[in-house]
Amino acid sequence: MRLRGVELRRVRMPLVGRFETSFGAEDDRDVLLVRVDTDDGDGWGECVAPNDPLYSAEYADGAQLVLERHLLPRVLALPDVTAEAAVAAMDEVKGHPMAKAALEMALLDAELRARGISLAEHLGADRDRVPCGVSVGIQPDVDTLLRSVEGYLEQGYVRVKLKIAPGWDTEPVRAVRERFGEQLLLQVDANCGYRPDDVPRLLELDEAGLLLVEQPFPEDDLQTHVELARRARTPVCLDETITSASVARHAIAVGACSIINIKSGRVGGLLESRRIHDLCAEAGVPVWCGGMLETGIGRAANVALAALPNCTLPGDTSASSRYWERDLITEPFELQDGMLPVPTGGGLGVEVDAERLAEVTTATTWCPAG
């Protein structure tokens, strides 16, 4: 495939409601989209780097800069571009997995679209629809939380994840468990918000019968995750810590987690996600697909990933309406009996509407080959 150039596009879309986690709150998304222009046609990718470097070190402005200055020049210089060749060319640049993943996604989309193969099929998915969970941010009070959870359950979500932080943990979790009963699939996500001294506090969550506790401690603190995993009945799941297949292998080997959340942006791409999926399957570690408040482009990739055989837990692959009044970028993903259909068209299998996209575009940069 010959790459003629790459367009970096910024779009701003307000979220339907504030999304608050242990590290901050977001009211809108300033998304970086990548369009590759190839002699085989276009491909789209979404960079999941948030507006600010609070989830991890990456953020949208930084991702754009590293793409413009360091990643695109390497990939645009390749005579024959494939997603795999691009990943290899970008490898000497340290870090910046979300920027790399966005370009890989766009190239995979172009490549697979031209061949008429869906991303799900290419990755080895074995399902045509996936069960969906919803991630519920920190709320001003427990009553508001209960109303919010009730609304999502009415829409059909099959699993609820509550964001927790010191001071917003055992009480809201207990209230949700009491109100919605034992059968509710419930889990929590601390986004690195706790410290080693908090282990006893986190052990109190055992009484709530949770599916898992996600990333309680900072991403580089494997040891405290090991300690909690040894002492708690609740399975420990890692998100921020897992930045590659080799980190995943290590975390599993030392007993820091028994479940892994896969996000293609966090691990540098869909091909690395597939490797993590496979090594977890071999180790008997279930995985699920996380989310980063994606538009329809990134959501399409997530839903394909969520359809892999070892994604045995419902993911944070919610319907478009959970995030946006209207997803102006692609057709919306709509929940059907708590499930989302896996796109079957070539590549990501979603169409970008150029006119509607223009309505939300705030800046466009064209990076030509040669």
H helix or E strand, kind and range, residue 108: helix 97-115
Q: Do residues 76 and 367 make contact, with C-beta atoms less than 8 angstroms apart?
A: yes
When CB distances to Mg ion are compared, the closest residue is 239
Instruction: Give the range of 76-84, 120-128, 189-197, 317-325 binding Mg ion by CB under 5 A.
Output: 189-197
Binding status of residue 97 toward ligand SMG by CB under 6 A: no
Task: Please report, as residue ranges, which positions from 229 to 248 form the binding site for Mg ion (by CB under 5 A).
Answer: 239
Task: Please report, as residue ranges, which positions from 240 to 279 form the binding site for ligand SMG (by CB under 6 A).
Answer: none
- The residue (of 107 and 134) whose beta carbon lies closer to ligand SMG is 134
- The residue (of 16 and 358) whose beta carbon lies closer to ligand SMG is 16
Q: Do residues 130 and 315 make contact, with C-beta atoms less than 8 angstroms apart?
A: yes
Binding status of residue 162 toward ligand SMG by CB under 6 A: no
When CB distances to ligand SMG are compared, the closest residue is 291
Binding status of residue 293 toward ligand SMG by CB under 6 A: yes
CB of 43 to ligand SMG, least distance (A): 22
Q: What is the DSSP string of 142-182?
A: HHHHHHHHHHHHHHT-SEEEEE-BTTBSHHHHHHHHHHH-T
**Is residue 199 packed enough to be buried (19+ CB in 10 Å), middle (13-18) or exposed (0-12)?**
middle
Q: Determine what percent of the chain falls in helix, strand and coil, rounding each to the nearest 5.
A: 40, 25, 40
Cα separation, 186 vs 176, in Å, equals: 9
Output phi, psi for 33, to 5 deg.
Answer: -110, 150
Residue 50 site contact among Mg ion, ligand SMG, none (CB < 5 to 8 Å, cut-off depends on kind) = ligand SMG
Cα separation, 208 vs 214, in Å, equals: 15
CB of 280 to ligand SMG, least distance (A): 17
Instruction: Give the range of 207-215, 266-274, 306-314, 343-351 binding Mg ion by CB under 5 A.
Output: 207-215
Binding status of residue 189 toward ligand SMG by CB under 6 A: yes
Output phi, psi for 130, to 5 deg.
Answer: -130, 140
Q: Pick the binder of ligand SMG from 30, 111, 239, 327 (CB under 6 A).
A: 239
DSSP state of 229: H
Binding status of residue 50 toward ligand SMG by CB under 6 A: yes
CB of 70 to ligand SMG, least distance (A): 24
- The residue (of 135 and 139) whose beta carbon lies closer to ligand SMG is 135
Residue with tokens 């031209």: 114
263 noted as active-site residue: yes
Binding status of residue 320 toward ligand SMG by CB under 6 A: no
Residue 111 site contact among Mg ion, ligand SMG, none (CB < 5 to 8 Å, cut-off depends on kind) = none
Strand order in the sheet with 133-136: 133-136, 159-163, 186-189, 213-214, 236-238, 259-262, 287-289
94 noted as active-site residue: no
Q: Pick the binder of ligand SMG from 38, 148, 191, 310 (CB under 6 A).
A: 191
Residue with tokens 């870090």: 95
Strand segments, DSSP code E, in the chain are 3-21, 24-38, 41-47, 129-131, 133-136, 159-163, 186-189, 213-214, 236-238, 259-262, 287-289, 339-341, 361-368
The count of residues in the chain is: 370
- The residue (of 31 and 112) whose beta carbon lies closer to ligand SMG is 31
**What is the size of the binding site for ligand SMG (CB under 6 A)?**
12
Binding status of residue 318 toward ligand SMG by CB under 6 A: yes
By annotation, the residues acting in catalysis are 163, 263
**Residue ranges binding ligand SMG (CB under 6 A):** 50, 55, 135, 189, 191, 239, 290-293, 316, 318
**Residue ranges binding Mg ion (CB under 5 A):** 189, 214, 239
